[in-house]
Amino acid sequence: MSLKNNIFSSKPKQIAQAAIQILLKVYGNLNSVNFLVISDMKSPIDIAQNFENIGLNKYEVFQESLDKIFNKKKEDLNKDENFINKLKIFDLIMIGYKKHSKIIDKSLVKKILNKRKQKPILFIDCGIPGNIKTNIGQIPNCFLFDLNDLEQLYSSWIQNSIANESSNNELFDIELKISLDSFF
């Protein structure tokens, strides 16, 4: 099937498709991937719906305020073992809150990775201006993307594939690697 036939018209589908390709490159397959969405916004939920039937190992959506889910203040989450233990089982965590507070920071991610025995973890920040501190992308085995990153990756793959008029999966893999290298 040609890549041209896989072009989506809505941004949630594009963003999900880009994230799926990244997951495949990091984990090799999707049946071992655990995915969590934590949000009180519509857009992360719309994006997450594109993951429902792709064969993920575990898929959970918490569409509530962070305080209701974890019953803690933001400042306490970094120290909360229960919160860290909940997050450690997920390979992809998508977060988007209307509040403009930074929920995920470097210290928290290091604790999660330690409990994961350094197994890679991906974060997608859906908050505007963001709910995740950008410096977590400097941590080995931690990948951070925002919605713009994923949309740009998807757009560049589609533009390159149309320009090359190729349906070759090998070409797509090369384009994916080149695109991802700039982020990693």
Cβ 50 vs Cβ 12: under 8 Å: yes
The verdict on residue 103 lying in a domain is yes
Would residue 118 be called left, alpha or beta, if left means φ above 0 and alpha means ψ between -120 and 50 degrees?
Answer: left
The verdict on residue 63 lying in a domain is yes
Handedness of CA 86, 92, 97, 103 (dihedral sign): positive
pLDDT score, position 161: 65
Domain containing 171 — which CATH number?
A: 3.40.50.720
pLDDT score, position 6: 40
pLDDT score, position 78: 57
57-74: string of b/e by CB count within 10 Å (b at 16+)?
Answer: eebebeeeebeeebeeee
pLDDT score, position 69: 59
pLDDT in tens, the chain (184 residues): 333 334 333 589 889 999 998 999 899 889 999 999 999 899 899 999 999 888 899 999 888 776 665 555 555 555 678 888 989 999 999 999 887 778 899 999 999 999 999 899 999 999 888 899 999 999 999 999 999 999 988 888 777 666 665 455 555 555 555 556 555 4
pLDDT score, position 67: 65
pLDDT score, position 77: 59
The verdict on pTM exceeding 0.85 is no
The verdict on residue 166 lying in a domain is yes
pLDDT score, position 4: 39
β-bridge partners, 38: 62, 95
Cβ 21 vs Cβ 173: under 8 Å: no
Q: Which domain holds residue 96?
A: 3-179
pLDDT score, position 121: 97
The verdict on residue 158 lying in a domain is yes
β-bridge partners, 28: none
- Number of folded domains in the chain? 1
The verdict on residue 184 lying in a domain is no
